[in-house]
Amino acid sequence: MIGYTTLGTNDLPRAAAFYDELFAVIGGKRLMEFDRGYAWGVSHDTPGFGVLRPFDGQPATVGNGVMVALVVDSQEKVQALHAKALALGGKDEGAPGLRGGGFYAGYFRDLDGNKLNAFCMG
């Protein structure tokens, strides 16, 4: 179920340099780069790790910028998980849709405020 995990940072260049070197030890490499951060892994079909500046613009702290991503096999399942989370009282953090590079995702917070997403590639 876990597709990737993200952590927040206040110094993206420093964090990127750290993780580039750290993950090289285990064969990991940058797989994605975007304006707010980077993602590493060994391939797009295995769990990955990302470092981002928090979406809400607030400083990264332990917890802010952290997100659990749930990989599914279709856009319909992304939509269904997102809708169900909201129906259960969760908060919308980004409606399901394409985010670029074939990445389709919907973002939400659970009842305790923890950020999650559901995503698929393609």
C-alpha span between 66 and 9 (Å, rounded): 10
C-alpha span between 120 and 122 (Å, rounded): 6
Residue 112 — very low, low, confident or very high, per pLDDT cuts 50/70/90? Answer: confident
List beta partners, residue 33.
38
Which of helix, strand or coil describes residue 117? strand
Residue 111 — very low, low, confident or very high, per pLDDT cuts 50/70/90? Answer: confident
C-alpha span between 73 and 116 (Å, rounded): 17
* Domain regions of the chain by residue span: 2-121
List, for residues 3-54, the tens digit of each pLDDT value. 999 999 999 999 999 899 989 988 899 999 999 999 999 999 999 999 999 9
CATH (residue range 2-121): 3.10.180.10
